Amino acid sequence: MHWFRFAVFVLIVTVLQAGLADIVAVTNLNIKPDLLLILLVFFAVYCNTFEAIITSFVIGFAADIILFGFPMGSRMISFGLFGTALAYLNRVVTIKKMPYQSVAIFITALLAGTLAHLLDSFRGQTTASNVFAVIFGTSLYSSLVGPFLFLPSAWWMRIKVGRLS
């Protein structure tokens, strides 16, 4: 793992998620792709288990930084937990094809979003009334966009994905 490349990559994706994801959002429902969650699934699939666990918690921390008004730690816990589970699942089930990656992104986004919402609600944070519709829409949007972002991510991180061979 190239840790300096990883740090720069997470910083770039965090800035893109905070600033430019609103451009491609479905405006009336505030549904946009979760680029950091797509990145989490990428590293859980293409890195070894130890590296995937570290990257999951770091990416969750970056997701917490984006949300200024929410309590710190809920995304770091949910991303870390489900990123770790996906890394261990990747030892048993191969998630190298695009449809499988899409399903992995969808399920991980649903579970991590729901857990983060529950952790926020335990701390008394109020949310919108349609939060589960937003979680479902974000999961669906991310699963459609995500596998197409794996190849540029692998190029940046110098990881061989084996799609073209």
Q: What mean pLDDT is reported for the chain?
A: 87
pLDDT at 165 over 50: no
- When divided into structural domains, the chain yields a total of 1
Query: Could you report the per-residue pLDDT of 42-86, keeping only the tens digit for each?
Result: 999 999 999 999 999 999 999 998 876 666 788 899 999 999 999
Residue 91 maps to a domain: yes
Q: Where are the alpha helices (DSSP H) in the chain?
A: 3-15, 35-46, 49-66, 74-92, 98-122, 131-157
pLDDT at 99 over 50: yes
Q: What is the CATH number of the domain that holds 12?
A: 1.10.1760
Residue 65 maps to a domain: yes
**Percent of the chain whose predicted confidence (pLDDT) is above 70:** 92
Residue 163 maps to a domain: no
Residue 151 maps to a domain: yes
Residue 100 maps to a domain: yes
**DSSP bridge partners of 112:** none
Residue 141 maps to a domain: yes
Domain that holds residue 72: 3-157
**Percent of the chain whose predicted confidence (pLDDT) is above 90:** 53
Residue 164 maps to a domain: no
Residue 67 maps to a domain: yes
Contact 65, 42 (CB under 8 A): no
